[in-house]
Amino acid sequence: MHHEFSDTEHDPHSPHFFKDVWSMMWQTRKLYNDIYHKKVVLDEKFTKNPPLPVWDALDRFGDHTAVRLAWAGLYIAFYVAFAPAWYWFLLLPIHFLIGPVQGAVVNWCGHKYGYQNFDNGDKSRNSSPWGILLLGELFQNNHHKHGDSPNFAKKWFEFDPTYPVMKFFNFIGIIKLKKAQVKVVNMKAAA
């Protein structure tokens, strides 16, 4: 939905329709929970022929509060076993919240700050050097142009550190990289 409706009122997490990053995160969480609990029915184009299998049982398992608390317990146990000093436990909130915070940073900053390599008909941006530090995720403009490309870096000064790892995994047979398709945007239709 984000790529289909990028930076329009139908985009589930465009920063241009929220007063701050927190309200964007909360609305995104609410929408995804409503989709999961079938309070919102998605258009068939988002549900027909999904690129990956749908595992309802795994979704139910992962959404259970006991499973979330078990993960928190595993993080705490890891710190108990390996933290060299008490103040390392101050990092636990980062581990608990890294998923939603990283997603918020990518979608907020990746559509507000930086430069554009491509005119995609949206407000997506690239943010160097932050794009490198967030493992290529803040090369949003490149990603919106080449959505299925494994390499989010497109200019000589951009570097996506996950791409060489994927190339290595492809080389040794763990994954199979496909040739990316280029998204063509009709600027008159997008306007």
The range of the structural domain enclosing residue 75 comes to 1-92
Backbone angles phi, psi at 115, to 5 degrees: -125, 165
Q: What is the pLDDT of residue 191?
A: 47
Residue 165 lies inside a defined structural domain of this protein: yes
Q: Among 33, 61, 92, identify where a domain stops.
A: 92
Of the pLDDT bands very low, low, confident and very high (cuts 50, 70, 90), residue 54 is: confident
Domain match, 63 and 19 both: yes
Of the pLDDT bands very low, low, confident and very high (cuts 50, 70, 90), residue 184 is: low
Q: Among 92, 120, 141, identify where a domain stops.
A: 92
Residue partners of 155: CB distance under 8 A and separation at least 6:
117
Domain match, 73 and 21 both: yes
Domain match, 167 and 84 both: no
Name the token pair of 73. 């317990």
What's the mean pLDDT in 19-46? 89
Residue predicted with more confidence, 130 or 2:
2
Q: What is the pLDDT of residue 178?
A: 83
Q: Among 92, 123, 153, identify where a domain stops.
A: 92
What's the mean pLDDT in 132-140? 89
C-alpha neighbours within 13 Å on the C-beta side of residue 91: 12
Domain match, 87 and 13 both: yes
Residue 104 lies inside a defined structural domain of this protein: no
What is the value of pTM for the model shown?
A: 0.77
Domain match, 38 and 83 both: yes
Domain match, 2 and 86 both: yes
Q: What is the pLDDT of residue 70?
A: 96
Mean pLDDT of the chain: 88
Domain match, 81 and 119 both: no
Look-up of token digits 């493992």: 135
Domain match, 121 and 189 both: yes
Domain count, the chain: 2
